[in-house]
Amino acid sequence: MGAKDPLSTEGVSRRRFLGYVVAASTLTVAAPLGEGEAAAAVPSLPGPAEIYDLNDMLTHAALPTANLITIRLDSDGTASFALPRAEVGQGITTSSAMLIAEELDLPLEKIHVTLADARPELLFNQITGGSNTTISTYTPIRVAAAVARGRLLKAAALELGEALGTLTAKAGVIVSTVTGKSLTYGELAAKAASMTTGQVAVTLKEPADFKVIGTARRRIDALEAVTGRKKFAMDVRVPDALPTMVCRPPTINGTVREVANLDAVRAMPGITDIVRVSSGVAVRGRTFGQCIDAVRALEVTWGPGTAEDASDESIRAELRRAELPLPGLDLLTKSVDARFTFHFASNSALETNCAVADVREDSAEIWASLKSPIVAQEEIALRLGLPVSAVKVHVTEGGGSFGRKLFHDAAGEAAEISRAMGKPVRLMWHRTDDFRQGRTHPMSTSRVRATYALGQVLTYDQRHTSVATDFGHGVGEIITAEAARLPVGDLTFSETIFTLTQQTPYRFGVATQLLSETDKRFNTGSMRNIYSPNVRCAQELVVDELAKRMGKDPYQFRRSFLKDERARAVLDKVAEAGEWGRSMPAGTAQGIALHPEYHAYVAVLAEIDCRPETTGREIPDAYTGPRVMKVVCAVDVGLAVNPRGLQAQMMGGIMDGIAITLSSGLHLTDGHFQEGSWDNYFYTRQWNTPPELEIIVMPPTTETPGGAGELAVAGAMAAVACAYGRATGKMPTTFPLNHADPLHFEPLPTSPPIPASPVDGLNRAF
């Protein structure tokens, strides 16, 4: 046995946690090794997701390696933390810094949060999805920070020769209340370090003592973002890594048969390399403009794709054939029967797919925005025939994701191209590549039957049928990623995700929600909120119809059937703040909806204007249509770490919900999508955003945070759809609502696969 560490603490009580002090030259501390247990079932008849949901699964999967999450104190008095998650605009670097600031008693500006490289030893603890980051890291980060604070206090006591109880820590300085002597964290960082790694018991702050957690804070990266200094994947500069693009097929997943003019294109100005790869023909040049010219000049003969000749109509017919049957009807009950269609939606983020790769004979280095970097590292190593340890994967910040960056398509493709060329590359997908060959939210149908009698809803049955959602990222590492691709495993994986995310907040008797999927011929992914927006939109529209048939007010009807008081509280709040039931002109209406998810609740009240003078507005090169004039949102995530960040999350989710309800969808024709850019894809524009928008963050209802990242999308979609139904007098059943209208744009050609660079930008400025 070695000598006892003079700074150690023995024993752990019921309200205390075990963290680790890590052997290092300066103070380095780690989170606890978690044990965790599943939540217990509650009375009545809860659905699976009410007992144990996807977020619980992700949190418990992360616990065994939570002790590998570390915080480092440096001699300049700052704390550094490599977050094993991806920052893609949701603000988790800020909320993570706030957790450290709270327990470490260090100013927020002295905390540096970066993104961790791929770390295979973390197993399931480096995947960003399911609104899980804050939930799963909330306690581990706080414990690590508390361990650091305790070590600093003990080191100060030894250094000053004073009793520990006489010392206080504040703003990165430890002061004696007796003598007034002080030491900074920087002066103590080396002295508080440990020669060995061992457990340390700590007591976390009580919520009543919080000074940082629960306060509204600006994002720590806000200034860099608005001044253009923030670094994304496309800003990475690696020596000799030149711009690279790919000439892609005209139909989904087509293949190269022949290239007629390789030599001629290789001789074009600035072009250094051209190679055939699995996804098309890769071109490397001095500038991206030169790459675009070369891609457009290539004469490629293409083989058929995986969805050749497919169209919206043919996929809808496939989905109808794959629908699971509904239970039979009792002759003594009445029913609401409805079938909803949700068209493909683009999973493109504002930052297009991109990555930097430098592949050598015995090593590889990748830079990309990745939400599942361990899978990326392991699969790229497998593709290159290299040991995992020879492949370094650096996670950069991303300009949006919406689930898109759970996949490493660009990183894997960049690695393949770099190996083929023998040179480093800066790969960028064109916007048109992203829309036509990128990931999409799959087309689906939802068939619903609800039976009722004597003022009660007796049964609720929903059969959701979808083009297969690709879960090839698994839950963060290669074993589950490969299992999700197996002929049987893919459906099993989808069923698991569906079961652990879908629930009904209402007491509707015997309720069933089942999923069926069709062939995986498309490039799909878990767009923000996975299945929930479509499933919940269908359910809330049926709830409105039930209320109408039973002669009830939609708000009061929902309120009377809710299972949970937290759900009732957010519903009451939006009804009050949004003046539910106020008199409105014909052609306008209110809609109200609720969405429970990941131990959190959101209610949304939306007001829509469907009058001709509004739907007929003319804006150059734009789609207008119905306009949501007002949204009131009340959100309860238990404990909001950063209420300002939570409000921003809700705003973004509301815009998503408005878009997928009214205007943003993909048109599938002859094996390709008609949309080829953001000009064609009508995400919520400034002229369609609500002039009135109010986000109400409810007071804390629990001592821990719930999920927030995706919460508002489903609630907003359902509220807007319900408002539209009440304004027009007819339940909408196809989304987006404008999908069957004549195209509001001239489709870009499929060959060449990308358009020429525009030269009329000033003419399009408003």
Task: Give residue-wise pLDDT tens across range 85-138.
Answer: 999 999 999 999 999 999 999 999 999 999 999 999 999 999 999 889 999 999
Assigned token pair, 19: 């963290």
The distance in angstroms from the start CA to the end CA of the chain is 75
Radius of gyration of the chain (CA): 27
Report yes or no: 716 and 591 within 8 Å, Cβ to Cβ. no
Distance CA 431, CA 422 (A): 26
Report yes or no: 339 and 446 within 8 Å, Cβ to Cβ. yes
Percent of the chain predicted with pLDDT > 70: 93
pLDDT at 15 over 60: no
CATH of the domain spanning 17-36+45-219, picked from 3.30.365.10, 3.30.1490.20, 1.20.1250.20, 2.40.50.140: 3.30.365.10
Report yes or no: 168 and 178 within 8 Å, Cβ to Cβ. no
φ/ψ of 176, rounded to 5, equals -85, 125
**Residue that the structure tokens 């929903």 belong to:** 462
Assigned token pair, 666: 């993909």
DSSP string, 27-94: -EEE-------PPPP-SS---HHHHS-HHHHHHHHHGGGGGG-EEEE-TTS-EEEEESS--SSS-HHH
Q: What is the pLDDT of residues 307-332, one digit of tens each?
A: 999 999 999 999 999 999 999 888 77
Instruction: Give 268's DSSP letter.
Output: S
Helix, strand or coil, per DSSP, at residue 432? helix
φ/ψ of 568, rounded to 5, equals -65, -35
Residues contacting 293, CB < 8 A, separation 6+: 268, 269
Predicted TM-score (pTM) of the model is 0.92
pLDDT at 80 over 70: yes
* CB count in 10 Å sphere of residue 17: 20
Assigned token pair, 676: 């080829």
Distance CA 538, CA 127 (A): 30
Distance CA 761, CA 10 (A): 67
The pLDDT of 340-366, averaged and rounded, is 95
Residues contacting 416, CB < 8 A, separation 6+: 277, 278, 383
State which amino acid sits at residue 750.
Answer: T
Banded pLDDT at 14 (limits 50, 70, 90):
very low
pLDDT at 13: 46
Q: What is the pLDDT of residues 625-671, one digit of tens each?
A: 999 999 999 999 999 999 999 999 999 999 999 999 999 999 999 99
Helix, strand or coil, per DSSP, at residue 595? strand
pLDDT at 341: 98
Q: Which helix (H) or strand (E) holds 672?
A: strand 672-673
- Beta pairing partners, 82: 114
Residues contacting 522, CB < 8 A, separation 6+: 252, 306, 307, 344, 440, 442, 467, 468
pLDDT at 241 over 80: yes
Q: What is the pLDDT of residues 701-746, one digit of tens each?
A: 999 999 998 899 999 999 999 999 999 999 999 999 999 999 999 9
Q: Mean pLDDT across the chain, nearest whole number?
A: 91
Residues contacting 316, CB < 8 A, separation 6+: 341, 443, 445
Q: What is the pLDDT of residues 576-593, one digit of tens each?
A: 999 999 999 999 999 999
**Residue that the structure tokens 């269609």 belong to:** 341
pLDDT at 337: 97
Banded pLDDT at 350 (limits 50, 70, 90):
confident
Helices 643-662, 532-549: crossing angle, 10 deg rounding: 70
Helices 54-62, 133-160: crossing angle, 10 deg rounding: 30
φ/ψ of 600, rounded to 5, equals -140, 165
pLDDT at 1 over 60: no
Cis ω on the peptide bond leading into residue 690 (within 30° of 0)?
no
**Residue that the structure tokens 């290299």 belong to:** 386
Q: What is the pLDDT of residues 122-179, one digit of tens each?
A: 999 999 998 899 999 999 999 999 999 999 999 999 999 999 999 999 999 999 999 9
Distance CA 539, CA 480 (A): 31
Residues contacting 228, CB < 8 A, separation 6+: none
- Angle in degrees, CA 756, 759, 762, rounded to 5: 140
- Beta pairing partners, 426: 243, 356
- Give which of 513, 694, 722 is closest to 608, Cα–Cα: 722
Q: Reduce the secondary structure of 482-523 to three states and give it as a string.
A: HHCCCCCHHHHHHHHHHHCCCCCCECCCEEEEEEEEECCCCC
CATH architecture of 233-306+353-428: 2-Layer Sandwich (3.30)
Assigned token pair, 216: 């509204």
Banded pLDDT at 47 (limits 50, 70, 90):
confident
pLDDT at 403: 86
φ/ψ of 158, rounded to 5, equals -65, -40
Furthest-apart CA atoms within the chain: distance in Å: 85
Q: Reduce the secondary structure of 109-173 to three states and give it as a string.
A: HHEEEEECCCCHHHCCCCCCCCCCHHHHHHHHHHHHHHHHHHHHHHHHHHHHCCCHHHEEEECCE
pLDDT at 40: 28
CATH number of 313-345+439-735: 3.30.365.10
The pLDDT of 216-231, averaged and rounded, is 91
* CB count in 10 Å sphere of residue 569: 17
* CB count in 10 Å sphere of residue 728: 15
Helix, strand or coil, per DSSP, at residue 244? strand
Residues contacting 623, CB < 8 A, separation 6+: 663, 682, 738, 744
Per-residue b or e along 676-715, where b marks 16 or more CB atoms closer than 10 Å to that residue's CB? bbebbbbbbeeebbbeebebbbbebbeeebbbbbbbbbbb
Question: Domain-by-domain residue ranges, the chain?
Answer: 17-36+45-219, 233-306+353-428, 313-345+439-735
Residues contacting 475, CB < 8 A, separation 6+: 57, 58, 61, 124, 127
